[in-house]
Amino acid sequence: MRQPFPPAWLTANGHCAVTDFNSELQQRLDALREQSLFRELRRVDSPQSSRIQIGGKTFLNFSSNDYLGLANDSILKEAAIRAIEKFGVGAGTSRLICGSLAPFHELEEALADFKQTEAALSFSTGYATAIGTICALLGKDDIIVLDKLVHASIVDAAKLSGAKIRVFAHNDLNDLEKILKWATEKKSESKILIVTESIFSMDGDAAPLREIVGLKNKFAAWLMVDEAHATGIFGKNGRGLMDEFGVAKQIEIQMGTLGKALGASGGYICGSRALIDLLINKARSFIFSTAPIPAAAAAAMAAIQFVQSNNGEKRRELLQQRLGELNLKFKIQNLKFQSAITPIILGNEAKAVNAAIKLREQNIFVPAIRYPTVARGKARLRITLTAAHSENDISDLARAFKALDS
Ligand SMILES: *Cc1c(COP(=O)(O)O)cnc(C)c1O
């Protein structure tokens, strides 16, 4: 006689617990759907570029952070392939055991040279960089002061460090000064770390870095600046916004990612030799994690050389040209600062999701950014331009947006 499947012993044993678990999760997912906050993965069947293929259709892509069009560039691909041929794929273990393969050292020398700091350390991601660095530097007796809009990696790091967290209103120097005054009066032996981004990831605006450096000097605080959306784009040779503002030398902790304008993968800290040696000894996300594949480091290193070359400058000029066209077409005026990120703030989550769907119907891919990436009620379409877009692409984008209104 055939046994029923699943057999009775299996369904009797544990079936209930698993069913309860799943129905609890279904309820949570339904709640997300009701608030237009449900997210799902979309499989992309092409490399990252100004066009991507999803479900057999080609979309004009305005959603990636590959600002210089390097993610699928032959210079990076060849560097990665060479590294795979020489060093294989996996690093085998963490950097401190025996995974510290030559490409990581070459990358870190190139990073320090690029950012003009004594030393640099690479991490597997920008997220791991924030976690490892902030937790290595601060403990429960210290105070961390964050701009309201800093990235989730920094917020999570601040929580995990156990330090007292204070948040200042976005780019609000008066608020920052008030908090610093409170912090210095509170406990003289506490370390105070201010953390901000140079270009904000979901708003595209710039931090007043000169003034923030002035305040951190006045109150003897430390400053960490995340250049995730500025490295490769601003400053001499794409060094970043702190270079453009002439304050790089005064910033203790320079953070960034290798996965955006640099087109590869990983994160980094640039700073003094002492900072880097401390991180090698104390940053747990660095110590207790297998080193990334060496090919990622080799690709990032090729990107760092590229952004400093004439061809890098040309890509930056192309990006600026496209941004100028976008401003004209979208009648964007009086921008205080031009970055590659243009948010179209719609507020309501469902409205943002519906607008993104309507754009996709026209083969235009622009992501709807919602809570928890931005505050509730601040949902938006986030347009990112890259040097790989053409003038025609910008016209198509503008046309698709016009069709939304009609
Ligand atoms: C993307 C991002 C990170 C995280 O970097 P990954 O390399 O993607 O992990 C950190 N900070 C900011 C501001 C970012 O936008």
How many residues appear in the chain? 406
User: What's the distance, Cα to Cα, between the start and end of the chain in Å?
Assistant: 66
Any idea which residues carry the catalytic annotation?
Answer: 65, 151, 197, 201, 226, 229, 260
How far does residue 258's CA lie from ligand 1's centre (Å)? 9
Instruction: Report helix, strand or coil for 130.
Output: helix
Name the closest-CA residue to atom 10, ligand 1.
126
Task: Report cis status (omega within 30 of 0) of the bond before 372.
Answer: yes
d(CA 113, CA 181): 36
Pocket of ligand 1 (CB under 6 A): 125-127, 151, 153, 197, 201, 226, 228-229, 257, 259, 267
| DSSP run (H or E) holding 131 | helix 126-137
Q: Which atom of ligand 1 is nearest to the CA of 258?
A: 7
Fold of 37-67+310-404: Aspartate Aminotransferase, domain 1 (3.90.1150)
The tokens for 20 are 């309860």
How far does residue 194's CA lie from ligand 1's centre (Å)? 18
How far does residue 398's CA lie from ligand 1's centre (Å)? 28
Domains 37-67+310-404 and 74-307 share a fold: no
How far does residue 10's CA lie from ligand 1's centre (Å)? 44
Q: DSSP assignment, residue 348?
A: S
**Contact status, residue 230 vs residue 85, Cβ threshold 8 Å:** no
How far does residue 257's CA lie from ligand 1's centre (Å)? 6
Angle at CA 215, nearest 5°, toward 213 and 216?
A: 65
Q: Which atom of ligand 1 is nearest to the CA of 265?
A: 7
pLDDT in tens, the chain (406 residues): 666 676 666 665 556 788 899 999 999 999 999 999 999 999 999 999 999 999 999 999 999 999 999 999 999 999 999 999 999 999 999 999 999 999 999 999 999 999 999 999 999 999 999 999 999 999 999 999 999 999 999 999 999 999 999 999 999 999 999 999 999 998 777 899 999 999 999 999 999 999 999 999 999 999 999 999 999 999 999 999 999 999 999 999 999 999 999 999 999 999 999 999 999 999 999 999 999 999 999 999 999 999 999 999 999 999 999 999 999 999 998 888 899 999 999 999 999 999 999 999 999 999 999 999 999 999 999 999 999 999 999 999 999 999 998 7
**Contact status, residue 106 vs residue 297, Cβ threshold 8 Å:** yes
pTM over 0.85: yes
CATH of 74-307, one of 3.40.640.10, 1.10.630.10, 3.30.230.70, 3.30.1330.60: 3.40.640.10
User: Between β-strands 57-61 and 51-54, what pairing exists: parallel, antiparallel or unpaired?
Assistant: antiparallel
Every domain of the chain and the residues it spans: 37-67+310-404, 74-307
Name the closest-CA residue to atom 4, ligand 1.
126
